[in-house]
Amino acid sequence: MNEDMNTSCVTVILNPAAGRGQGKQRRAALESLLAASGVLCELLETRAAGDATRLAAQAAAEGANIVAAAGGDGTLSEVLNGLAAGGFTARLGILPLGTGNDFARCIGVGTDLKAAVDTLFHGTPRAIDVGQVRFGDHAPRYFLNVSGCGFDALAAQRVNENRDRRGWRHIRGMPAYLCAVLQELATLRAASLRLEADGQVFEQRAMLCAIANATSYGGGMRVAPDALLDDGLFDICTIAEAGRWEFLRAFPGVFKGTHVSHPKVTMRRAREIYLSSEPPLPVLVDGDVLGTTPVRFSILPCALEIMAPRKSSVRN
């Protein structure tokens, strides 16, 4: 731990619902690991959506040096937006208790809780980029993993809409997403996309446009396998119009990142992006559908410090 770290200024925000209840089930184990570290921590538990954002903002305002998200990528996203309210003055810690844990994997923390706690206190602070998304005149939202529109957002929207319906109540994570993919295939249609990337304009009929800060999302879909967290650039993945069966055959490649060599896939990099479509499409931001196109993306270079493993290169 850095010598200038005030050991009383570490706040852990736990989402008990994360990972299909893993947050609640593993609270005792987490408390034991935190106590064994010898560092005095404050552990706060969320009760509803938005609590993690509020608690993170409050902790940073009260002088916390590190605010850690104990949950999944959704919890991490909320904590990130809470830290943004204070100008990212506190460092971000990751304690993976979710289903996908994409960002924890990306920075090398993985899914081992003991190793993650060790990283929280004895890791290396690393400056990383943060993605910013704006819908019209609304306040900006921030993300670490991937945003975008098209097939992925439509499938995620279907998951959220079906979550409490009969037949879906016990399906979570990647299995739920794959079920939604199969359902979405029945009505799969390309949209007319207009992508303005650092002043260059690209127009095409496309199935998907993903704006990636990190390498993966959705529980292991490596949509941007070469993305770096500290290069000041988004990796943009667009998939051109394709037939249902061609798309279905190519889709599994995203889990290994081999889709990038498919002739329908184009990869680009940019700092500032304006994305519009006809018809308007839902926009996915770190797992949640927050609005529809048009939407603007900006990269905030090395705006946030995270606690990463000492040997981490902040990429897969």
Structure tokens at 177: 């997403």
Q: What angle do CA 307, 303, 44 make, to 5 degrees?
A: 50
Structure tokens at 302: 């090395």
Structure tokens at 63: 């002088």
Structure tokens at 184: 């979405």
Backbone angles phi, psi at 219, to 5 degrees: 85, 30
Catalytic residue among 102, 129, 231, 288: 288
Give how far Cα 296 sits from Cα of 229, 230, 235, 302, Å.
19, 20, 15, 19
Assess whether 288 carries a catalytic annotation: yes
Closest to 307 (Cα-Cα) out of 114, 104, 72: 104
Cis peptide preceding 279, ω within 30 of 0: yes
Helices (H) and strands (E) in the chain, counts: 9, 15
Query: Distance (Å, rounded) from C-alpha 127 to C-alpha 125?
Result: 7
Q: C-alpha 295: how far from its chain's center?
A: 17
- Residue 49's CB is within 10 A of a number of other CB atoms, namely 12
- Residue 43, class by beta-carbon neighbours within 10 Å (0-12 exposed, 13-18 middle, 19+ buried)? middle
Where in the sequence numbering do the catalytic residues fall?
A: 288
